[in-house]
């Protein structure tokens, strides 16, 4: 067998195999870098194009058709208002659903079908959620294209992500903690409330921040809802019409053919959006590192 293989042939083959390994190792490494390379180009381009346009006036100003005067405070506030809707809605519904599925639902067909349903929902294109929001929130519930409608639409969109994250967080709480609580005569809800949820909270928070950042960056569903292209007053309630950062980027990109500077405004807005996302993600990572339990 092997020892009977022609020694020369064996050596040649071994050389070959080892060379292949090291060549491909470099290829793999370059592949891993490729994504980062694109990321770098993307960021450099956006920053060089938009950075000069970012100043206090831009950040705090009102929207305008005049690029020199235009500010994105309205879009920032719109995005914040939407977040104020998305956070509690997704947290309550998402965590509630996760608790139900993990701790209350009997393992069976019903539970399995909800689970399947959730993973299907996670794969539904965001634009379809836009249509759902348009039909249900804007039209049937007659909210119009206001913060609440946008927020609820985006909440439904990211809900599956959060549910799955919360389920994993709950599952990761070791059963011996729950047992300890039951062993003291605690009821199920007491155990969930006092032991399981606190232990799962950091991971749940991380998951919800990540799904929130997904919601913030979404454009497609909002285009379907019909967000106005020009909206100067700041939104200050759930029932105000609004515009959001990605929508502003979208419209400015489209109109850059009419006013060249709009492209710079779009880039500047992208920077703001990326910074916002970066901050959110850092918070998520911070929470994850800071509160990670050792059980």
Ranges within 67-96 binding other proteins (CB under 8 A): 92-93, 96
Chosen residue from 54, 83, 101, 268 binding other proteins by CB under 8 A: 101
Q: Residues 6 or more apart from 211 whose CB is under 8 A from it?
A: 90, 94, 158, 159, 161, 162, 165
Chosen residue from 7, 8, 32, 56 binding other proteins by CB under 8 A: 32
Cβ proximity to other proteins: between 31 and 290 the closer is 31
Closest to 80 in 3D by CA, of 285, 273, 287: 273
In whole angstroms, give the CA distance from residue 121 to residue 130: 13
At closest approach, how far in Å is the CB of 149 from other proteins? Answer: 11
At closest approach, how far in Å is the CB of 247 from other proteins? Answer: 8
At closest approach, how far in Å is the CB of 133 from other proteins? Answer: 9
Q: Mutual orientation of helices 109-123 and 147-172 as an angle, nearest 10°?
A: 130
CB 51 within 8 A of CB 268: yes
Chosen residue from 48, 60, 190, 289 binding other proteins by CB under 8 A: 190
Contact positions with other proteins (CB under 8 A) in 33-62: 34-36, 38-39, 41-42, 45-46
Sign of CA dihedral 264, 221, 122, 287: positive
CA angle, 199 then 203 then 205, to 5°: 105
Chosen residue from 83, 134, 148, 265 binding other proteins by CB under 8 A: 134
In whole angstroms, give the CA distance from residue 223 to residue 126: 11
At closest approach, how far in Å is the CB of 57 from other proteins? Answer: 15
Chosen residue from 79, 167, 211, 219 binding other proteins by CB under 8 A: 219
At closest approach, how far in Å is the CB of 203 from other proteins? Answer: 13
- The answer to whether residue 220 forms part of the interface with other proteins (CB under 8 A) is yes
Distance of CA 273 to the CA centre of its chain: 13
In whole angstroms, give the CA distance from residue 225 to residue 220: 9
Cβ proximity to other proteins: between 84 and 176 the closer is 176
Window of 1-9, 52-60, 76-84, 164-172 that interacts with other proteins by CB under 8 A? 1-9
Burial grade of 292 (CB within 10 A; 0-12, 13-18, 19 or more): exposed
Chosen residue from 64, 68, 279, 286 binding other proteins by CB under 8 A: 64
Window of 53-61, 80-88, 164-172, 189-197 that interacts with other proteins by CB under 8 A? 189-197
Half-sphere exposure of 268 (CA within 13 A, CB side): 24
Binding mask 262-291 for other proteins (x = CB under 8 A): -x--xx--x--xx--x---x---x------
């Amino acid at each position: 067998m092997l020892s009977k293989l022609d020694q020369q042939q064996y050596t040649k083959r071994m050389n070959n195999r080892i060379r292949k390994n090291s060549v491909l190792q470099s290829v793999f490494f370059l592949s891993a870098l490729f994504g980062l390379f694109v990321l770098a180009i993307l960021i450099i381009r956006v920053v060089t194009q938009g950075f000069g346009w970012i100043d206090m006036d831009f950040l705090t100003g009102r929207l305008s058709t005049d690029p020199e005067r235009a500010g994105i405070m309205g879009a920032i506030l719109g995005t914040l208002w939407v977040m104020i809707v998305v956070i509690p809605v997704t947290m309550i519904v998402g965590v509630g659903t996760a608790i139900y599925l993990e701790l209350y639902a009997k393992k069976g067909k019903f539970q399995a079908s909800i689970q399947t349903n959730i993973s299907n929902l996670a794969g539904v294109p965001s634009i379809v959620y836009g249509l759902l929001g348009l039909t249900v929130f804007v039209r049937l519930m007659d909210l119009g294209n206001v913060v609440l409608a946008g927020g609820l639409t985006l909440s439904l969109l990211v809900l599956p992500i959060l549910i799955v994250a919360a389920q994993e967080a709950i599952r990761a709480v070791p059963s011996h903690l729950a047992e300890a609580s039951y062993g003291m005569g605690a009821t199920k809800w007491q155990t969930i409330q006092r032991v399981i949820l606190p232990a799962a909270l950091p991971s749940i928070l991380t998951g919800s921040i990540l799904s929130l950042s997904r919601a913030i960056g979404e454009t497609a569903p909002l285009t379907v809802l019909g967000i106005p292209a020009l909206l100067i007053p700041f939104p200050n309630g759930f029932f105000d019409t609004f515009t959001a950062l990605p929508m502003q980027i979208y419209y400015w990109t489209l109109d850059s053919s009419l006013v060249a500077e709009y492209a710079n405004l779009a880039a500047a807005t992208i920077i703001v959006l990326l910074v916002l996302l970066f901050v959110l993600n850092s918070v998520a990572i911070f929470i994850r590192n800071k509160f990670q339990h050792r059980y």
